[in-house]
Amino acid sequence: MIRMSNPLTSARCLAAAALVVALSFAFHGAAQEQVPPAPADVNAPSAPTPAPSAAPAFPAPDPANFTAASPTKEEVNAFLNASFGYNENLVWQVEGILKTQVEGVTKVIGYVGDKTGKTKPQGMQFFILPDGKHIIANDEISSFGENPFADYRATLQKRADGPYRGTASKDLELVEFADFQCPHCKDAQPNMEKLLVDFPNARIVFQNFPLPMHPAAAGAAAYGVCVNKLGGSVVFFQFAAAVFDGQDGLNQGADSATLTLNSAVTKAGLDPAKVEACSKTPEVVAQVKASVQLAKDLNVNVTPALMVNGRQVPAAGPYDLIKQIIFFQEKLDGVKQ
């Protein structure tokens, strides 16, 4: 587990599906994003440095570098487009799809650049596994395909069971994984409120993801489960807002944390004694653990994390960027806007 110390460095914190090179252009070091890992390929030829404000000039691909029968160049380009095509300033070129010494493992090499020419193009590489559905890069395994987020989307549609706001439809499902004691989760709440207004067609779900370094987080999560059970989603989000507002109280010992949670329950209109008793039941503890396991199964390892139809985006990142990615994902998934 990793707690982000600064949302502006979270691109370095997100493992799993983070294309480091692309993010250096797309996020300007300001966000996390679930796209294929592709660090600079030290074995690839150096891309030319463009003049300032000039589009990058990639070298012409050598046909000799396309030795693998599968995937096709078109399939790789579709994958890269799904991964970071939301950023119209990004350009890329596939330079090779090569067989390797391991049967069925294919190496993809290429370049990623910025149309403005403000950033030097960089090499990228990743390895496609024999199943044709996964890649390896940066010691991480993530999905490959025209829509690499589809499996995660299906998992969330089946297992994301937290309180939600917005529509009941799961066509556009935004799932926030958060820890009540995490300061950046508190910082993300204005973004979540804006999303509720700007995307009335969305189902916006809150999933507990208490991190082990926060001693009060698991208890707060259990309280939240019980508030939802006893009062429903509307009451839960009143409780959640009150907990985030009083978050400092969670950091001052067990007694202070209990007072903070009970105060939030009272503000939400429920009986603190009933909620506290409920929070200690095995059923509720198991439900919190199940939400944590869901996060792990989705390769979520930071808070706050926002899954947009299975695609991980920076919940506490720049709001305009979040909107841009959501619009792109809607188009990718054929969601009516």
Gap between the Cα atoms of 268 and 337, Å rounded: 33
Region 106-114 average pLDDT? 95
Region 285-301 average pLDDT? 96
Residues 231 and 104 in one domain: no
**86 within a domain of the structure (yes/no):** yes
> pLDDT at residue 32 above 60?
no
Residues 127 and 255 in one domain: no
Domain tally, the chain: 2
**1 within a domain of the structure (yes/no):** no
Q: How many other C-beta atoms lie within 10 A of the C-beta of residue 149?
A: 25
Question: pLDDT tens digit string along 234-270?
Answer: 999 999 999 999 999 999 999 999 999 999 999 999 9
Residues 328 and 266 in one domain: yes
What residues contact 276, with CB distance under 8 A and at least 6 apart?
223, 258, 261, 262
Residues 175 and 238 in one domain: yes
Residues 104 and 137 in one domain: yes
Question: pLDDT tens digit string along 195-208?
Answer: 999 999 999 999 99
Residue 151: C-alpha distances to residues 155, 272, 322 (Å): 6, 39, 21
Residues 250 and 279 in one domain: yes
pLDDT band at 18 (very low <50, low <70, confident <90, very high): very low
Gap between the Cα atoms of 102 and 123, Å rounded: 22
CB 220 within 8 A of CB 259: no
224: containing domain? 152-333
Residue 54's SS3 state is: coil
Region 276-288 average pLDDT? 98
* Residue (of 129, 134, 144, 126) closest to 39 by Cα position: 126
